[in-house]
Amino acid sequence: MLRTYVRNDQYTIQFGKRSRLEVPIGSELKAELGLNRNQRLRVEVAGEPKWRGEQNRLEIVYDETTESFRAFQPVTVPDSRLDSPLASHEAALDVGANNLVACTTTTGLQLLYDGRDLFEQFRKTTERIAHYQLLLEDQRESSKRIDRLYRTRTNRRNHAQDTLVRDLVERLYDEGVSTLYVGDSKGVLSTHWSAHVNEKTHNFWAYRRFINRLEDVCKEYGITVEEESEAWTSQECPECGEREGTIRHEDSLACPCGFEGHADLVASESFLRRQIAVGSMARPVYLKWNNHSWREHHSPPSLVETTANEAYTDQSTASGGNVALGEAQDD
């Protein structure tokens, strides 16, 4: 992805009838565009800023899907202006292996990002890596082809992850969310998931990278990220508070009181209720990755391939040397 940053004192944006952005460019490009030494590149911009204030570093990203450039301008606004109804809502995340992110907001929005297809791609590349590793001649530890496959696998995952973070944070921002709760990694990585799900989340989803990226983008949008313990939230019934008697089976959570719901969405909702009072929920939004963007889907992700994926993960992590999945955390 094409992305560049412009220091806060190096650019100017003017909003009005003909909004425009001026950025410095290199001398070669200046010559090409016929600009003199003291001139900067001037481009028209569309859109209205939600916030005005002291400008911070500008981020310019090329969006391949719409073939356009997008500029993100974080601004610092006085605290007195932050308590507008626009930005007083809160949200909580549940990070998982099959559903990468489940999120609930105090406005009643629920989001679910399905990671199954993405994991399937990751798994197939991993299989190819293992295949070529078997064909290596003695002594050799890797080959150009294997290195390239590792890179492809990582880049693809990172691309999906970065896009997910931006999609999520933009939705939260539009919803007026100013505080986002995520599970503290201690709780997340020890109690919340079983060992092999942890393995999968570490190797495939690179949890730390995800959280770091999330914190960066939230900062851009003025959203505060808070780490809180989310112990039990994945087993807790949101209706009656029962913990011990609930039954979690794949993606569903059922309670003796009669409640039944999507386990990950419920977990993010219970996690949020622990921090703040929450009203009732609207229909969840299901998001699927299509290699470019996260698209909304009408129905919840299917459960069909789950078992195969899980079985595979078990096998490969149990194979000792972690032949292919064991690539060092690539961040």
Which residues would be at the binding site for Zn ion (CB under 5 A)?
237, 239-240, 242, 255, 257, 259
Nearer to Zn ion, 138 or 244 (CB): 244
How far apart CA 278 and CA 72 sit, in angstroms, is 31
How far apart CA 268 and CA 109 sit, in angstroms, is 11
CB of 193 to Zn ion, least distance (A): 23
CB of 258 to Zn ion, least distance (A): 7
Tokens encoding 303: 């459960």
CB of 122 to Zn ion, least distance (A): 36
CB of 273 to Zn ion, least distance (A): 13
Nearer to Zn ion, 219 or 243 (CB): 243
Nearer to Zn ion, 218 or 237 (CB): 237
How far apart CA 215 and CA 213 sit, in angstroms, is 5
CB of 259 to Zn ion, least distance (A): 4
Pair 65, 41: CB distance under 8 Å = no
How far apart CA 187 and CA 230 sit, in angstroms, is 7
Tokens encoding 152: 């492809």
Nearer to Zn ion, 112 or 237 (CB): 237
CB of 84 to Zn ion, least distance (A): 37
Nearer to Zn ion, 72 or 259 (CB): 259
> Residue 279 — left, alpha, or beta (φ > 0 → left; ψ -120 to 50 → alpha)?
beta
Pair 263, 251: CB distance under 8 Å = yes
Nearer to Zn ion, 199 or 251 (CB): 251
How far apart CA 67 and CA 23 sit, in angstroms, is 20
Backbone φ, ψ for residue 278 (5° rounding): -130, 135
Tokens encoding 248: 């979690």
Q: Which residues pair with 20 in a beta bridge?
A: 14, 44
Nearer to Zn ion, 117 or 242 (CB): 242
CA dihedral for 189, 195, 201, 202, sign (positive or negative): positive
CB of 242 to Zn ion, least distance (A): 4
Tokens encoding 9: 């004192």
Tokens encoding 199: 């393995």
CB of 245 to Zn ion, least distance (A): 8
86-to-95, 170, 173, 247 alpha-carbon distances in Å: 26, 14, 9, 38
Nearer to Zn ion, 82 or 240 (CB): 240
